[in-house]
A and B are shown apart, each in its own frame.
Chain A
């Protein structure tokens, strides 16, 4: 049982991840953008963060940077649905900014669960 912050601007994805994570016994905190996500992280001391990368206001890389600044040991899984207009290699970048796992959407839930279990086991 762990506390997981999920940051994604897509509501369906937020609901999916919430249902899935709660289903497997985790406490889930949801944020629809980076700024709110960071607030949650700062306020709730989560065990894991799952964040989208491409988001308005504050994107995942910034979140990763902030987490790195303040909560270096907090594991982050970055998931991206890809770019909207400009092409970029954001997946490796996310890894560079400290994401422990990087997935492309859609990511199969069992794959995601594997990654979560692994990261939580490290703690």
Chain B
């Protein structure tokens, strides 16, 4: 059997001693193959024998063998036979092709020449590894002849042929595969990256909708982490009601190719419902079996909302576009060759455009403006061109001659080289503006020339003002006012004491809610003068749309003064003690002041609108009133007395002055009556007249008293002498007795006369009240007459009191006369005395009472009593209820005065219709230590101290002696200097300065003046023998200085001292 010549070559590498064996083995292999072939042929023959068709198999087998041969040699894999030393002993065509070496070239190479990763030194180790493993499959990099390398997958068989060990390797170029693998890996990586980084959620489900893949976006969209999501069912993302749709998705997917898309609502981990866009595709394995679903998902909730909004917005804008009142048009700018705007074309216009311009859309759209308006000003094209080309917006107002309309045009660039205009017909506004401008000019003139001050406040400062405001504030010009804040032109505080700035802040705030505000305010002129203004604030919005305050000031200084004046007048009228009544020309009362109410007893409401006739007393006849009316109606003032009647019927006299009130034109519009109730005055006048009469009588009585008393002394005395010598039974005795009785009456009469006129000498001494009462009884019975019963109830052993007999007699007489008058029809007069002791509690219960032991003299009657209303007045001087001429009004006043003098008091008890009782309490000397006594020159606990200033030593000594004798303490001085010295030195109080007027170093008057400056009110008695000094009396009198004429008797000195001191005590 022949071997392939190349086999011989192969055998050549085998050591000769082994060559035979190798040959044999190869021959055996070939033999085997030949035997197999033979067997096959035999079997073929057999089969040919058995069945003709087996022949084909035989042919096939041979063919296969051939193929094997060919396969080996023609194998696409490179085949190398490598000897133990690494040398290549066989390589096939594929090896040659793969390496670029020729077959022959290959047969001399060491395996490391081909295997890039193999070194000659490394071969034995590799060789042993292969030997151990028999078959090794490895990936190597082979080197071509040209040095380039390529990846191969080598499969190496270890073969032993006796001593010959060979390695048969089949190397397949895997560069392409590796590349493909690398590509695949990179592709996978990219895909993974895509998936991971996809903005869309990528989710993969198995066929039961369990999550098997979950990318970051899915995590972001649904809020579940990859770990949380994996393995979970799709229901995780859907709300229950939609669950069944999953099956549908799957079935839909199965039935179609390329996947599907759906938009569903899904639920996120935090429970939000979101709208998602799903792209699903079915996953299958190689066999086409369905393994699951891959989904890409996108959260389109927001996008959807935006889309919806956009759609709506588009619709809205379309609607707006169609319905807007403003004209709207979009144009395309047309430029000339040099790129300058030359024309523009209408692209779109809205209905308002058609309406406003009169150009229909049909006519406009597609045409250029030059086509439509050939004589259009180039400035328009320039303006619009700029907008279209630069994107700058433009606002233009202009008048369209052809349309007689004003337009306001806003142009902007909607797209490059385009411009859109929105324009509105502002003809109306323009016309209004022109009208406003005209009216503004007019009002500006009014504003400027108004006499009232007008100002404008803007942003809290005066932004404008007129000349009147400037003048009112006394600034030279507007500049002084403008820019100032209202507070700067105000005093720090307002009339109510509030701070101006605080108050202003409040007012400004108030103006936020109010349109108008009016208030009084104090402002400050440039020269600091404060003046009141009536402020009227109006909130306005100016043309610029800013809020301004319009301020109008009216200087109300004069108005306020007038108001104040009016207020004062009104107050005066209201508070006037005189009745003021204002009537209309018909005599109907329109006003009556409170004095009217007080005096007449009528309220204003009662007389309002009525005639003053209600007051008529009937005293005046009709002629009287006719005269009155005639006077005032002829425009004259009537003055006179009116006897009127009060509401309570009482008659009263008023001194009235009734005058017509005339308006500017001289027409009488009212009458005003000013009346004074002179009833009391008249009564006082009457009383005064009475008292003056009494005074005159008293003066007369006093003047003749001395001589009269001497006469009476003689008559009384001689009648007494007669009575002593005459026989008691003789007629002469009786005659003399009658003379004596008459003399006594004359004495009493004189005393009363003197007492009434208070010319009575006061001789206080201890006396027995009972004696005085007894002595007075006779006179009382004479005074009262037969109709009256006199009852005496005199306490035995009544303690003596310190008083003047004459005064006590006077008290009894006065009270008795009052009692008589209270009982005009006669009655009972009771006089009683008693000793009373009051404790503190008793005393407190008595008006004016005090604790102690007192002698009480009571005089009571059962007459008409004293009304409560006059009880308080009965002791007032000149108060009388008696008819004119019957009483002096002094009776009880004298009683009161005497009781005060006696340091006692009176209590009156009276019941109207039942009678009155006067209780007089006299202190008992020694009983309480406060009894009255002759003080002489004593004041309280000490003697009165007199500063006697007299330069004549003998007179000084005499006067001093008299005064010391009278119980005074006397400090004498001879000069003014000395007097002041003594006064200052003696650390004591002086009660009287008795000084000569003519002194060596000055006058007594000067001295008195200086002393008075130091001791105001010190009594001063000045004496002088110079008649001319009396002329200076005019100056001294008003100062309260007393004067004593020299030479003086002891009596006149004592009298003068007493008088001066008494004045002081008052």
Contact = CB atoms under 8 A, between A and B. Distances in A.
Interface string A50-93: 00011000111110010010000000000111111111111111
A80 to B, nearest CB: 7
Contacts of B713: 10, 12-13, 16, 79, 81, 105-107
A19 B721 contact: yes
Interface stretch (A37-45, A95-103, A114-122): A95-103
A20 to B, nearest CB: 6
B721 A106 contact: no
A93 B936 CA distance: 7
Contact of A89 (B754, B937, B1058): B1058
A65 B965 contact: yes
A95 B1054 CA distance: 13
A87 B717 contact: no
- Interface size classification for chain A: 35 or more
Interface string B699-727: 00011011111111111111011001000
Interface in B745-774: 747, 754, 758-759, 761-765
Contacts of A79: 713
Interface in B185-211: none
A20 B961 contact: no
Contact of A13 (B714, B761, B1049, B1059): B714
Contacts of B764: 92
Given A54-B706, A96-B936, A97-B966, A17 B717 contact: yes
A90 B714 contact: no
B761 A87 contact: yes
B589 to A, nearest CB: 55
Contacts of B763: 89, 91-92, 102, 104
Contact of B702 (A53, A85, A97): A85
A104 B618 CA distance: 56
Contact of B1049 (A12, A58, A98): A58
A82 B705 CA distance: 6
A60 B706 CA distance: 14
Nearest to B759: A87
Contacts of A89: 761-763, 1058
B1051 A88 contact: yes
Interface in B663-719: 702-703, 705-718
Given A13-B710, A61-B1054, A65-B961, A96 B966 contact: yes
A102 B962 CA distance: 19
B936 A82 contact: no
Given A12-B710, A106-B717, A82 B1051 contact: no
Contacts of B706: 54, 81-84
A37 to B, nearest CB: 14
Contacts of A92: 762-765, 934, 936
B967 interface: yes
A93 B761 contact: no
Contacts of B705: 81-83
A100 to B, nearest CB: 13
- Interface of A, helix, strand, loop or mixed by DSSP: mixed
Given A13-B714, A104-B763, A90 B709 contact: no
B1052 interface: yes
A96 B965 contact: yes
Contacts of B1054: 61, 88, 90, 93
Nearest to A92: B934
A10 B709 CA distance: 10
A16 B713 CA distance: 8
Contacts of B762: 89, 91-92
B714 A109 contact: no
- Interface of B, helix, strand, loop or mixed by DSSP: helix
Interface string B960-980: 011001110000000000000
A25 to B, nearest CB: 13
A106 B492 CA distance: 85
A8 B717 CA distance: 15
B965 A68 contact: yes
A98 B967 CA distance: 11
A16 B714 contact: yes
B1058 A88 contact: yes
B931 to A, nearest CB: 15
B637 to A, nearest CB: 49
Contacts of A95: 934
Interface in B126-147: none
A97 B962 CA distance: 9
Contacts of A96: 934, 936-937, 965-967
Nearest to B705: A82
A81 B709 contact: yes
B1055 interface: yes
B898 to A, nearest CB: 14
A82 B965 contact: no
A104 B1050 CA distance: 19
B202 to A, nearest CB: 141
A89 B1055 CA distance: 7
Contacts of B967: 96
B318 to A, nearest CB: 125
A54 B702 CA distance: 13
Given A13-B713, A105-B712, A93 B720 contact: no
A59 B1049 contact: yes
B92 interface: no
B743 interface: yes
A12 B714 contact: yes
Given A81-B713, A83-B702, A104-B709, A20 B934 contact: no
Given A65-B962, A89-B761, A81 B1050 contact: no
Contacts of A12: 710-711, 713-714
Nearest to B717: A16
Contacts of A83: 702, 705-706, 759, 761
Contacts of A84: 703, 706
14 contacts: A16-B713, A20-B717, A68-B965, A80-B761, A81-B707, A83-B702, A84-B703, A89-B761, A89-B763, A92-B765, A97-B1050, A106-B717, A109-B720, A109-B721
Given A10-B714, A65-B1050, A81-B708, 18 more contacts: A12-B711, A13-B714, A23-B724, A53-B1051, A65-B965, A81-B710, A83-B702, A91-B762, A92-B763, A93-B966, A93-B1058, A104-B761, A105-B713, A106-B709, A106-B717, A106-B747, A109-B717, A109-B720
Interface of B: 702-703, 705-718, 720-721, 724, 743, 747, 754, 758-759, 761-765, 934, 936-937, 961-962, 965-967, 1049-1052, 1054-1055, 1058-1059
Interface of A: 8, 10, 12-13, 15-17, 19-20, 23, 53-54, 58-62, 65, 68, 79-93, 95-98, 102, 104-110
The 7 closest A-B pairs by CB, nearest first: A81-B709, A12-B714, A88-B1055, A106-B713, A16-B717, A61-B1050, A91-B763
